[in-house]
Structure 1
Amino acid sequence: MADENSQEVAGQGQPWAKRQAEIQVGDRVCYSQRFLQSTGQYTGDVPFARGIVTALVPLGSIMLAEIDWQNDELPARVNVANLSRVTQKGILDR
């Protein structure tokens, strides 16, 4: 059985993993479902927070995103592994 991440999507000519782009400057983001569940944050402001990535900052092997959140009480830098992109079609969780 083939790995579904390596299969080509009909009509696209690219593997699915490559179509799901990494977080970049200018992307609208939110905290990922995996991160929220691992920290037990089901209610409050954090699960509904949305922001725009203004810069990417390498920190050793970790990439941090500087985010302009709608809520100023949230941290300005977040590990990109804890984020999901928000598009017109919805949240793109990895």
Structure 2
Amino acid sequence: PPFIVSPPENITVNISQDAFFTCQAEAYPRNLTYTWFWEEDNVFFKNDLKRRVSILIDGSLIIAQVKPEDSGKYTCAPSNSLGRPPTASAFLTVQ
């Protein structure tokens, strides 16, 4: 299974700024897919968030124009379909 080499870190972002979380993983085979969760939900399942998030090829998560309700725990889960994916979490605080 993959292992996370660059986990996300807690960040504080001003309202309407963009938030950026890293999540870089190594795996063999390298066909990694990254899933991000807000609290317990996939970020793409959260109505207000899904239009403003993007996941980069290296696993990083970008949240455009953050709102106070975006605050909370974000969890990254890289997977290459072998074994159980590891997870790493960090908190976003919007001020």
Q: Is TM-score (shorter-chain normalized) higher than 0.5? A: no
* TM-score, normalised relative to structure 2: 0.29
* TM-score, normalised relative to structure 1: 0.29
Larger Rg: 1
Instruction: Report which of the two has the higher share of strand.
Output: 2
Instruction: Report which of the two has the higher share of helix.
Output: 1
